[in-house]
Structure 1
Amino acid sequence: MFLKWTQRLLLPLALMSIPVLAVEQTVQVPGPLGALSGSLVAVADPQAPVVLIVPGAGPTDRDGNNPLGIRAATYRLLAQGLAGQGISSLRIDKRGLFGSRAAIANPNQVTVQDYASDVRLWMSYLAQRERYRCVWLLGHSEGGLVAMLAAQNNPDLCGVILLAAPGRPMGQVLRSQLARNPVERKQLDAALAVIDSLERGVPVAEVPGVLQPLLRPEVQSFLISGFALDPAQLLSRVNKPVLILQGNSDLQVGINDAEALHAARPGSVLRILAGVNHVFKAVPQGDHEANVAAYGDPDLPLASGVIEPIVQVIHGAAH
């Protein structure tokens, strides 16, 4: 059973001087213990394509913000930009968080597979309740891994759009991120030892205090589930159109990840965006301070070149 409620506002949205009327409404589907919640931006054309935006790592909400200092509103800006081009979208809160917090008692007791199951449920909602012909999955960062898993053998899938998605197993990506950070060698060695154990599927009870936010025991079941997945392998099994977008000023995921995904899926479209960071804002090349500051600036628009290739691959697939 699907639930739907709360039409919130009528938005005259525009991109490239093309006005489109779109209605944003809160929608819900049943989760394990309570409702999962999202925001559906529906353009007036009932035949319009729809994009399901899958959020990235941590306590990230449907707009692309989280209480750890990220206020870039990337997903809200994506929804607005797509609506301006006649494309509907659904952005969602993850199981146990924000509008979906009633869905599970402990938001840490989840796996990547759980998130992928929820995405598939949302896809069924869009296909059955909202009657979209099929659904484009757009996964950002860790959400790209979730999207690739949800895309497997999915009859409701139109195609996959990956923004700053990992092209290697999460453990390898995490090692690279830690190696670039100015941490003491002893701390790095301890972190790598924990990652090694989690890759073997073995939890670690004692985690040094400085590593608690990243590797604490409460989130290790989730990390174990993610470490076991190979994004390139998952993408190689997707037989629908694929677009890969990657900024060359990304501090978290590299061009090598995008290239690995592109190599794994022949026929995919790869776009490397110059001067674009992990939250898809334009930043001066090599300016670390400005790059980090962009994570907290909702008034900074999406970088030029983000919306256009998404629109092109969606409309190209329709012809």
Structure 2
Amino acid sequence: MIKSAIILTCATALAHPNGSAPASVAVPVEAPGPQGALAGTMLRSADGEGPVALIIPGSGPTDRDGNNPMGVKAASYRLLAEGLAAQGVTTVRIDKRGMFGSSSAVPDANAVTISDYVSDIAVWVRAIREQTGASCLWLIGHSEGGLVSLAAAQEIGDVCGLVLVAAPGRPMGEVIKQQLRANPANAPLVASADAAIDQLISGRKVEVSTLPEPLLPLFSPALQDYLISVFALDPAQLAAHADLPILIVQGGKDLQVSVEDANRLKVANPSAVLEIVPDANHVLKEVPGDSMAGNFATYGNPDLPVAEEIVTIIANFVRR
């Protein structure tokens, strides 16, 4: 286990576009994990001043840059961090326990619950505050990371506030049911999926031998403890009990999380600030037109910048 709170290794300078002095410095960082190190990247602005934020990744095998081996190469978190650094906001983006640079933290990345992720967020908050001297950290949670952020806000201190980006506003069981129904090809699977989700919501595991084969990856026995922990949470209820500044950022062309979700979070916490970016999608890229194929094409394009409006909205909010 890593003994010190946070370890810095070699830094990489990111230059201004005109080739002048570095605009920000990327530094690999580590914090103590359960059995080995948790790993991430800190990106500080040139003066190292201003607010500090922790970027919490979404579901599945999503790495600190916002990519995953299932075809997502949009680099959304890296690009967001670079945009925020240019506007004076320091960020740390992280690999989840058991994955990528944090692979030594636990032997099985699937053997986790939301509570485990909340524990890791608490460790990161303490470690980053020690390194930066920040009095508190902002939590920027993307997609399922928004749910983790909301859960963390109930349990840990030293949090300035929450930025919920493309975050679900309904229980995840409801979200998955709707996603399955959105594809007509899933019609023969809906009844079985609904029954499995309802059973997991009740806290009971599902016997996978009773499920149609296409549903086996979704309800794998290795994932069911995690699914039970996720399905038990209602993001809107958590938002209602979060006594912190909250910014909700939602793309109008998000195919995975809807404006309805953002509105539900806003209704639950009327003091929250809600910003809709009409042309942004789930990976924070601007999408011209309404083509679903064009929307998904942005998921594989790291050269396409994140929507500038999203960066500015977040930077302005946390700087206030």
Same fold (TM > 0.5): yes
Question: Aligned residues: percent identity?
Answer: 47
Structure-2 change in CA distance of 1:200 and 1:98 (3 Å): same
- Partner AA of 1:240 in structure 2: L
Structure-2 change in CA distance of 1:194 and 1:159 (3 Å): same
Q: Which moved more, 1:181-190 or 1:56-65?
A: 181-190
Q: In 2, Cα distance between the equivalents of 1:19 and 1:249?
A: 37
The residue that corresponds to 2:169 in the other structure is 167
- Is residue 2:231 matched to residue 1:244? no
Deviation at 1:212, TM superposition (A): 2.0
Deviation at 1:165, TM superposition (A): 0.2
Say whether the 8 Å CA contact 1:164–1:247 is kept in structure 2. Answer: yes
Q: Give the secondary-structure state (helix, strand or coil) at the position aligned to 1:271.
A: strand
- Partner AA of 2:15 in structure 1: P
Query: Match for 1:154 among 156, 171, 183?
Result: 156
- Specify every segment of 5 or more residues in structure 2 that has no aligned partner in the other structure, as ranges: none
Structure-2 change in CA distance of 1:213 and 1:4 (3 Å): same
Matches within 5 A, 1:44-59: 44-59=46-61
Matches within 5 A, 1:250-289: 250-289=254-293
Q: Give the secondary-structure state (helix, strand or coil) at the position aligned to 2:239.
A: helix
Query: Match for 2:15 among 12, 19, 23?
Result: 12
What is the number of equivalent residue pairs in this alignment? 315
- Partner AA of 1:9 in structure 2: T
- Partner AA of 1:254 in structure 2: S
Q: In 1, Cα distance between the equivalents of 2:292 and 2:21?
A: 36
- Partner AA of 2:157 in structure 1: P
Q: In 2, Cα distance between the equivalents of 1:280 and 1:57?
A: 15
Say whether the 8 Å CA contact 2:49–2:88 is kept in structure 1. Answer: no
The residue that corresponds to 1:219 in the other structure is 223
Residues 170-216 of structure 1 show CA distances to partners (whole Å, capped at 9, x for unaligned) of: 10111111110233422121111111111111111223221122221
- Is residue 2:317 matched to residue 1:313? yes
Q: Give the secondary-structure state (helix, strand or coil) at the position aligned to 2:184.
A: coil
Q: Which moved more, 1:203-212 or 1:24-33?
A: 203-212
Q: Superposition RMSD on alpha carbons, in Å? A: 1.8
The residue that corresponds to 2:5 in the other structure is 2
The residue that corresponds to 1:85 in the other structure is 87
Q: Give the secondary-structure state (helix, strand or coil) at the position aligned to 1:251.
A: coil
Deviation at 1:13, TM superposition (A): 4.5
TM-score, with normalisation over the residues of structure 2? 0.94
Matches within 5 A, 1:298-309: 298-309=302-313
Q: In 2, Cα distance between the equivalents of 1:14 and 1:51?
A: 24
Large movers: runs of 4+ above 4 Å: none
Q: In 2, Cα distance between the equivalents of 1:8 and 1:41?
A: 9
Matches within 5 A, 1:49-128: 49-128=51-130
Q: In 1, Cα distance between the equivalents of 2:16 and 2:213?
A: 46
